[in-house]
Structure 1
Amino acid sequence: MQYHRGMAHRHAPPPPPRAMNPHPKLSADAIIPPRRNAPGIAHAGETVVAIGTSTGGTQALETVLKALPADAPGIVVVQHMPEKFTATFAERLNTTCRIEVREAKSGDRVKAGRALIAPGGRHMLLVRRGGQYAVEVVDGPPVNRHRPSVDVLFRSAAQCAGANAVGIIMTGMGDDGACGLREMFDAGAHTVAQDESSCVVFGMPRVAIELGGVRVVLPLARIAEVISSARPR
């Protein structure tokens, strides 16, 4: 019997309808608008370090923060974690690090010897108050399907700290933080990505590198020395 190719498709069921995505992927614009053609930034006199990480980040952050001296530059961190877990995580790090580590609250000052970790379920922005940096913790929709979002933190650092900032993107799945790190790069910040061999998941650093927002790629073991040596520019 002769086989007719068309017969195999004649009675095939139609493909199922595509489901609507109930969680659209929003950019940092949903929380903090981009700044276009802005005048030069009047920098505060201190260096500020912004770190973003996700999958594998709890261990990576512990490695970095434990290696820092007590007078390390002020640090702000977004680690993708659920609500109520970030406070416990910060408390644990505070007992093992020479710097102070705590969950951020609105108005907390960013200063040498302190790391502020964004609370789960809320975004964290870096703001400038006169010659000092502080943080604001705000509500809002997830950005890149995350709250807190690394992109939100990095954009705020680009806008208020410019070349006085250091941006570091570490192990994590997806692309949150990649666009924000490029904005920091464009604003003159020193930007660093963790290398593939030391990442649990190379997703976030890989996309940041592809977007051209990374000045240096380093293994995890060398990131603390970059932070320790950072000085205002």
Structure 2
Amino acid sequence: MSTNKIKVLCVDDSALIRSVMTEIINSQPDMTVVGTAADPLVARDLIKVTHPDVLTLDVEMPRMDGLEFLEKLMRLRPMPVVMVSSLTERGSEIALRALELGAIDFVTKPRLGVRDGLLNYTELIAGKIRTAASARIIAARQPSAKAADVPQESLLRSPLLSTEKLIIIGASTGGTEAIREVLQPLPPDSPAVLIAQHMPGGFTKSFAQRLDSLCRIHVKEAEHGERVLPGYAYIAPGGFHLSLGRSGANYVAHLDQEPPVNRHRPSIDVLFDSAAKYAGKNAIGMLLTGMGKDGAEGLLRMRKAGAHTLAQDEASCVVFGMPREAIAIGAADEVAPLGEMCRRVLTHLRTFGERTNRV
């Protein structure tokens, strides 16, 4: 038997969920459950004994709330954590808070009693555990106030800059906090931002609301056919591809449920390809942290269409997969740490605006 299996500790107050999780994980050749716990206090003792590589953690439990436990864990013994959340509005808000505190990812609980669907959950959960096991643990960065460490004067001295330029962002694992860090410093008159973040349906609305409360631009879920306006960020709803379109002189958002691309819907490549087609040199493409290769080819097509493109550097990524693929094929004009991404974009926009004003 291999000694290199990923060791997983499952924490959930439901005996049935613990059983299902154990069955899912132990069915994989490269991972094993080293223990289960009904609450965080039992988990705390088991961590010291079993030394797990990954922890799966329920969000609502007796004796100690999952978020309280996660916060203590990331401060005292940082380790990869995958949250197991119920698909409810409160559950989605808690899951997003968990990502803010340092959890790598989250999954919705398998539907109990529907054993025929277990295989689908097996692939999803096992994939997230593998990603978590290889992820970089990054200290939680608390959201700052809306006033950010960038110049407060108006960014846009030319109306052309606000109406024609677009910022296009793709992200996956680790992306919720990375996107926040990029959006928060943007001034209210920023060009419109379109975002494809790999996230299931039911969570993107809470994600958009949370960002809207923290940012100086407005953040919302994209709606099919709506005009894309400066000062707004539009997030692809979970389960829908988001693409850019044109209606006369205006940019518009397009949503569809065509088959997944690169196993994802929303797919970053779908969004990037539409930006290459309809925005060309007026777009700025940004590929952030995430597993796999979604967005790499699309970022290259954006660059070939004249867009300015950026990829997040390895040191600041939770998972370097997607940016690595983009860099390898020459898709990125710039490779930058997450903390510099927004500043690089603003610098590029200001340079473009100055050239426009001189014409």
Contact 1:69 1:228 in 2 (8 A): no
- CA deviations on 1:10-59 (whole Å, 9 max, x unpaired) are xxxxxxxxxxxx99xxxxxxxxxxxxxxxxxxxx9510111000000001
Deviation of 1:178 (Å): 0.4
SS of structure 2 residue aligned to 1:110: coil
2:229 paired with 1:111: yes
- CA deviations on 1:138-181 (whole Å, 9 max, x unpaired) are 11111000000000000000000110111000000000000100
Give me the whole-angstrom Cα distance separating, in 1, the residues matched to 2:346 and 2:232: 12
1:160 aligns with: 278
| Selected match of 1:128 from 246, 254, 267 | 246
2:204 paired with 1:50: no
What do you get for the CA RMSD once the two structures are aligned? 1.8
| Selected match of 1:148 from 266, 291, 296 | 266
Give me the whole-angstrom Cα distance separating, in 1, the residues matched to 2:180 and 2:284: 18
Contact 1:73 1:227 in 2 (8 A): no
2:178 paired with 1:63: no
- CA deviations on 1:81-107 (whole Å, 9 max, x unpaired) are 000100110011101110000000012
Deviation of 1:120 (Å): 0.3
SS of structure 1 residue aligned to 2:331: coil
2:346 aligns with: 228
| Selected match of 1:215 from 321, 329, 333 | 333
- The residue type paired with residue 133 of structure 1 is Y
| Identity among equivalent pairs (%) | 53
Contact 2:284 2:309 in 1 (8 A): yes
Contact 1:45 1:131 in 2 (8 A): no
Contact 2:163 2:229 in 1 (8 A): no
Give me the whole-angstrom Cα distance separating, in 1, the residues matched to 2:167 and 2:242: 14
When the two structures are aligned, how many residues end up with a matched partner? 192
Give me the whole-angstrom Cα distance separating, in 1, the residues matched to 2:269 and 2:206: 24
Question: If each structure's helix is expressed as a fraction of its own residues, which one has the higher value?
Answer: 2
Give me the whole-angstrom Cα distance separating, in 1, the residues matched to 2:178 and 2:228: 21
Q: 5+ residue gaps in structure 2?
A: 1-119, 124-161
- The residue type paired with residue 165 of structure 1 is A
Give me the whole-angstrom Cα distance separating, in 2, the residues matched to 1:74 and 1:187: 19
Q: 5+ residue gaps in structure 1?
A: 1-21, 24-43
Report the TM-score, using the length of structure 1 for normalisation: 0.79
Deviation of 1:226 (Å): 2.9
2:324 paired with 1:206: yes
Query: Where do 4+ consecutive residues of structure 1 move more than 4 Å?
Result: none
Residues 1:73 and 1:45: Cα distance change in structure 2 (over 3 Å): closer
SS of structure 2 residue aligned to 1:137: strand
- CA deviations on 1:95-150 (whole Å, 9 max, x unpaired) are 11100000000122222110000000010110122222111011111100000000
SS of structure 2 residue aligned to 1:147: coil
Report the TM-score, using the length of structure 2 for normalisation: 0.52
